[in-house]
Amino acid sequence: MVAIHHRFTDVDGHRIFYREAGPADAPTVVLLHGYPTSSHMFRALIPRLAEHYHVVAPDHLGFGLSDAPGVDEFDYTFDALARITAGVLSNLGVTRYAIYVQDYGAPIGWRLALADPGAITAIVSQNGNAYEEGFVESFWTDVWAWGHQQDERTESAVRFALSREAIRWQYLHGVPDPTLVDPGTWEHDVALVSRPGNDLVQLRLFRDYSTNRPLYPRLQQYFRDSQVPLLAVWGENDEIFGPAGAKAFATDLPDARIALLDGGHFLLESALDEVSALILDFLGTTLAR
pLDDT digits (tens, 9 = 90+) for 225-247: 999 999 999 999 999 999 999 99
Q: Can 265 be counted among the known catalytic residues?
A: yes
User: Would you say residue 288 has pLDDT above 80?
Assistant: no
User: Any long-range contacts for 247-252 (C-beta under 8 Å, 24+ apart)?
Assistant: 247/133, 248/130, 248/131, 248/133, 248/134, 249/125, 249/130, 249/131, 249/223, 251/131, 251/220, 252/220, 252/223, 252/224
Mean pLDDT for the stretch of residues 195-224: 98
Q: How many Å apart are CA 114 and CA 82, to the nearest integer?
A: 11
User: Would you say residue 58 has pLDDT above 80?
Assistant: yes
pLDDT digits (tens, 9 = 90+) for 136-179: 999 999 999 999 999 999 999 999 999 999 999 999 999 999 99
pLDDT score for 172: 98
Q: Average pLDDT of the chain?
A: 97
Listed residue (226, 220, 230) closest to 252, CA to CA:
220
User: Would you say residue 5 has pLDDT above 90?
Assistant: yes
Given pLDDT bands bounded at 50, 70 and 90, which one contains residue 74?
very high
Cβ partners under 8 Å of residue 7, min gap 6: 17, 18, 19, 20
Phi, psi for residue 48 in degrees, rounded to 5: -75, -40
Mean pLDDT for the stretch of residues 102-127: 98
Phi, psi for residue 21 in degrees, rounded to 5: -155, 165
User: Would you say residue 199 has pLDDT above 60?
Assistant: yes
pLDDT digits (tens, 9 = 90+) for 99-113: 999 999 999 999 999
Listed residue (123, 133, 146, 134) closest to 223, CA to CA:
123
pLDDT digits (tens, 9 = 90+) for 35-44: 999 999 999 9
pLDDT score for 142: 97
pLDDT score for 70: 97
The active-site residue, picked from 33, 54, 188, 265, is 265
- Share of residues in the chain with pLDDT > 70 (%): 100
Task: Provide the total of helices (H) and of strands (E) in the chain, helices listed first.
Answer: 12, 8
Classify residue 135 by its DSSP letter.
Answer: B
